[in-house]
Amino acid sequence: MTTTAEDRLQDYRRTLRGWLGEHVPANPTGDVEEAKAFQAALYDAGYSGITWPKDSGGQGLGQAEQQIFAEEAAAFEMPVRPFLISMGMCGPTIVDLGTDEQKRRYLPPLLRGEEIWCQLFSEPGAGSDVASLQCKAVPDGDGWVLTGQKVWTSNAQWADYGAILARTDPDRPKHGGITMFVVDMRAPGVTVRPLVDMTGGAPFNEVYLDAVRVGPGDVLGEVNGGWSAAVTMLGHERVTISGLRQKRSNGLTFDSLAELGRRHGADPVARDRLADLYAHQRVLELFNARMRQETVAGAAPGSRGSVGKLAGAMLLRRAVDTAGHLAGANMVAWEDGDAGAESVELGINSTPASNIAGGTNEIQRGIIGDRILGLPREPQVDRGVAFRELKVGTQTSAAGATAEQAEKGVS
**What residues act catalytically?**
237
24: phi then psi, degrees, rounded to nearest 5: -70, 125
Backbone angles phi, psi at 200, to 5 degrees: 90, -10
N residues, the chain: 411
DSSP per-residue string spanning 58-100: S----HHHHHHHHHHHTTS--S-GGGHHIIIIIHHHHHHH--H
Instruction: State which H helix or E strand residue 194 sits in.
Output: strand 190-195
CB 188 within 8 A of CB 128: no
Distance CA 89, CA 119 (A): 8
By DSSP bridging, strand 161-167 and strand 178-184 are antiparallel
- Cα distances (Å, whole numbers) of residue 329 to 37, 249, 336, 341: 42, 21, 15, 11
